[in-house]
Amino acid sequence: MNVKQIPNFYTKQTRNFWLSMGLVFLFCVSLVQSARAGGASLYLGPNSGTFFVGSTFDVSVFMNTGGENVNAVEVNIQFDPRKLQVASPTTGKSFIEVWVAQPTYSNTKGTMRFIGGVPTPGIKITAGLVSTVTFRAISPGETSVVFLDSSKVLRNDPDGTNILTSLSKGAYNLVIPPPEGPKIFSPTHPDQNKWYKNNNPTFSWEKETGATDFSYSFDQDISATPDSLSEGSYTSISYSEIQDGMWYFHVKAKKGGVWGGVSHYLVRIDTTPPALFTPTVEPSIKTIERQPLISFITTDALSGLNYYKLKYIDITPEREEEDVGFFTEVSSPHKLPSLEVGEYLVVIRAHDVADNWREGTVKIRIIPEGIYFSKRGIHFRDFLFPWWLLVLILLIILALILFYYWKKQKDLFEEKKEKLNKIENKLESQRKEIINGLKKHETDRDQNMK
């Protein structure tokens, strides 16, 4: 009997193994499959809703095959981990028969992924439930759950053609639970959905008739409850130099000797400017291009970036330093207006949602295409020949000319002097010959007379 059961067991295990391997092969083929047929779509249900912070809610992933038979699906989801966390990756039923990869998720990166399929001939469906994910709302605000472009729906054909063409997202509103105790308000941070750079919050609350005592606390836990020790009967409290982040003020009232429900109030504090950054210039910081392109990007850890502003300052040495206009809101990349030849300081100011800002600067030099003259000297592209250097060169040239002229005159003088000396020597020799001849003549004459 055991011998008869072995073939059945072997066949079942083998079928599941080859089915899993086949699905893996289809996904590998789909990575290089460029043609995308039309039809299949992935969507979420519900695709919108309002939920209380601290509560959980389910979001289901549905598939419409668009009239095609499909046998594999890969779902890649992204969410904001600052507002949502996955409490349970899969709940409920699913048409998936074989999970090629068990559902995986990261509450740090805000991602989730699962891959599964059904045996040949596949499935044709309009609202097939792939899986249901349970999210927990952890902070208030609007948020989205979206499908990444790497998601796939593979048709049941030899090539495993990816026929996914439509991806729908879900938009959800996460709100603070309604107050169960005294109504709280803040003159310094009146909007719970807004970020403030003021880190000295003040809270006030209403005092109902018959309330004798209050207990309150201030922390970063939305579900915290103040202790049952009275803080007094006053209805206002201030805090100073609170660290950045999302903080919750909790208060409850004592009435008729009994402590009532707790109310919560959220404040968002961000005193830190965006991260350091340095703008870049195209084609370069020294260019003949009169309208260079300025690119810039930075990040903000808490409230997020809101907008950028730009202005530029003419810092050309021979001109007076001048702000060219005011800060204007821009986006990256930004082309500057046509600039004159000179040097400029470009200032980019990044503002976050809490209106903290950080400046990034870059110096640019607009150079001419040919030769031009300025108060500093003669310019040729990126080369400068200052006037003092040119004057020095001219003085050296003049000195060389004068030296040459002096040397030439000196040589002429020496040459003439040498000629005169030769003439004088020759004349002196002739004079001596004449005198000697006269003396000899006189001597001969005296001898003849004797």
pLDDT tens column, 62-98: 999 999 999 999 999 999 999 999 998 875 688 888 8
Q: How many residues does the chain have?
A: 450
Mean residue pLDDT of the chain comes to: 86
Q: In which band, very low, low, confident or very high, does the pLDDT at 260 lie, cut at 50, 70 and 90?
A: very high
- H-type alpha helices, 212-287: none
Phi, psi for residue 194 in degrees, rounded to 5? -110, 145
pLDDT at residue 28 is higher than 80: no
User: What is the Cα–Cα distance from 281 to 364, expressed in whole angstroms?
Assistant: 8
Which of 32-41, 167-176, 289-298, 424-433 is least confident? Answer: 32-41
Give the SS3 label for residue 43.
strand
149 vs 145: CA distance, rounded Å: 13
Give the pLDDT score at 435. 83
Which band of pLDDT confidence, cut at 50, 70 and 90, is reported for residue 329?
A: very high
Is residue 36 over pLDDT 60? no
Q: Quick one: pLDDT at residue 431? A: 82
Rounded CA separation 260/244 (Å) = 30
| DSSP class per residue in 178-209 | PPSSS-EE-SSS--TTSEES----EEEE---T
Pairing of the two strands 164-167 and 40-45: parallel
Mean pLDDT of 307-317: 91
Residue tagged 């000629």 (tokens): 419
Question: CA-to-CA distance for 105 and 318, rounded, in angstroms?
Answer: 62
pLDDT value of position 226: 96
| Range in 161-165, 228-232, 343-347, 367-371 the model is least confident about | 367-371
Q: φ, ψ for residue 134 (rounded to 5)?
A: -100, 120
Least confident of 78-87, 247-256, 430-439: 430-439
At 291, the pLDDT band (50, 70, 90 cuts) reads very high
Greatest Cα-to-Cα distance within the chain, rounded to the nearest angstrom = 187
3-state secondary structure of 236: strand
Question: If you ran DSSP here, which 8-state letter would residue 235 be given?
Answer: -
286-287/357-366 β-pairing: parallel
pLDDT at position 8: 44
Distance CA 43, CA 269 (A): 36
Cβ-based burial of 301 (10 A; exposed 0-12, middle 13-18, buried ≥19)? exposed
Q: Distance (Å, rounded) from C-alpha 13 to C-alpha 19?
A: 10
Span between the terminal Cα atoms of the chain, in Å: 187
In SS3 terms, 378-404 reads as EEECCEEEEHHHHHHHHHHHHHHHHHH
Q: Output the pLDDT for position 90.
A: 76
Amino acid at position 286, single letter: K
Contacts of 286 (CB under 8 A, 6+ apart): 364, 365, 367, 382
